[in-house]
């Protein structure tokens, strides 16, 4: 009796994971195409978010914060695209927050990694 209930439990877990993982895999696969390249902070020296272009094959960046478990590795989703200047590409500084005097996370500096274009 215990073996059959254990088998049913395993089948239930596998079935639920099989239903969940393909949906989540699509989310992770296409996140880079939909993600914005910048965070909610701007670099006070520039007055706008700053893009740091990295080689196109780079996929991960290291971010650090205060506290236990403050270091993490995040995916670089955005790819550099040359935009035509226009009103939609103009920055409004009111949409972003300045870097705090004592940042608690590296994302608060206003410098964001963007993968360079492929040839």
Q: Would the pTM count as exceeding 0.95?
A: no
pLDDT (tens place) for every residue of the chain, 119 residues total: 577 777 777 777 776 656 655 554 544 444 445 557 778 888 888 888 888 888 988 889 888 988 887 888 888 876 766 664 555 555 677 788 888 888 888 888 888 888 888 77
CA 30/CA 3 separation, integer angstroms: 41
Place of tokens 């993968």: 115
DSSP 59: -
- Per-residue pLDDT at 86: 52
DSSP 43: B
């Amino acid at each position: 009796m215990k073996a059959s209930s254990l088998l049913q439990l395993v089948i239930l877990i596998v079935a639920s994971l099989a239903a969940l993982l393909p949906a989540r895999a699509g989310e992770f696969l296409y996140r880079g195409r939909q993600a914005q390249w910048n965070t909610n902070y701007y670099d006070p020296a520039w007055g706008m978010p700053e893009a740091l272009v990295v080689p196109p094959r780079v996929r991960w960046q290291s971010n650090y914060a205060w506290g236990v478990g403050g270091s993490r590795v995040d995916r670089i989703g955005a790819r550099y695209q040359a935009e035509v200047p226009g009103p939609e590409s103009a920055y409004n500084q009111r949409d972003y927050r300045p870097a705090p005097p004592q940042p608690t996370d590296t994302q608060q500096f206003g410098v964001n990694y963007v993968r360079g274009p492929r040839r």
